[in-house]
Amino acid sequence: MSDHVFPAGELMKGKRGLVMGVANKNSIAWGIARQLAAQGAEIAFSYQDEALERRVRPLVESLPCEPFMVQADVTDDASMDGCFKALQDKWGTIDFLVHAIAFAGKDELVGSFTENTTREGWRRAMEISAFSFVDAGKRASRLMPNGGAMVTLTYLGSERVVPSYNVMGVAKAALEASTRYMARDLGPHGIRVNALSAGPMRTLAMAGISGGKALMKTGREWSMMKEDTKMEGVAGAALYLLSDLGHSCTGETLHVDAGFHAVAVPDMADE
């Protein structure tokens, strides 16, 4: 995975926000956070539990901004209340939200969607992967009296069938539709809401999907650019959407996948 961070700048100077979903140095949320910090952002990081806090703290402490970590399990209202209260107590207002959280059970990320999707599995995937953005977005918007920007992470499995992605594809479709409804509600308040549809990247979440390696290989071979999706491309797009560069862009699902999403048929040899 590329380690590239764009040259330091001031695109995010004076902006504060919450990044949700850093599990380790390969997390998409971490790639985005590094770019935001290099552009002068002040960042709060949420972590799900104490074990994760211990793992993520050294990363957070390596950034050029003051380390600020808050606990937030998106399935627990009290925990979400505590997270946003901590933000309000420390900063009063915020300017951006990065939501990079998803979960589905291993047994559901394999084989037949029709056979393997259970009521509980559906509920859990939808709650953690889609509703959590609506909930965090609502809470964040209350701390954005001067406007702001929100980004969530999605994947092409929402629009097209991807083997094994199954219930997560359905949750991502709900996430993208939620993004548009949130953008409509929050637009008049100067808050932009967008989704970033990233191509496959080697992260913990990806490791949970059966056939993840094959997905990456196909992504590379079928893509217009014949290469893996790069973290700096995804982080750069997030920087665009979260900074004033992204003014007037809202309700959008932006694909950053080396062009894979627009290909219907792979290259074929002439007969």
Catalytic site residue from 47, 155, 181, 240 = 155
Q: Which of 36, 109, 128, 193 binds ligand NAP (CB under 6 A)?
A: 128
Q: Per CB under 6 A, which region of 36-44, 61-69, 70-78, 235-243 contacts ligand NAP?
A: 70-78
First to last CA, the chain: 37
Kind and range of the H or E element at 86? helix 77-91
Q: Per CB under 6 A, which region of 59-67, 96-104, 140-148, 238-246 contacts ligand NAP?
A: 96-104
Token pair in block for residue 221:
């071979």
Can 47 be counted among the known catalytic residues?
no
Chain-centroid distance of CA 268 in Å reads: 34
Q: Would you count residue 48 as binding ligand NAP (CB under 6 A)? A: yes
Q: Would you count residue 218 as binding ligand NAP (CB under 6 A)? A: no
Q: Per CB under 6 A, which region of 24-32, 90-98, 112-120, 237-245 contacts ligand NAP?
A: 24-32
Reference 265, options 222, 203, 206; nearest CA is: 222
Based on its alpha-carbon atoms, the radius of gyration of the chain, rounded to whole angstroms, reads: 18
Which positions ≥6 away from 232 have C-beta within 8 Å?
2, 4, 5, 6, 31, 35
Is the Cβ of residue 183 or residue 205 nearer to ligand NAP in the bound state?
205
Q: To which residue do tokens 């380790």 refer?
A: 24
Q: Which residues are catalytic?
A: 155, 165
Q: Which residues lie near ligand NAP (CB under 6 A)?
A: 21-23, 27-29, 48, 52, 73-75, 100-103, 128, 153-155, 198, 200-201, 203-206
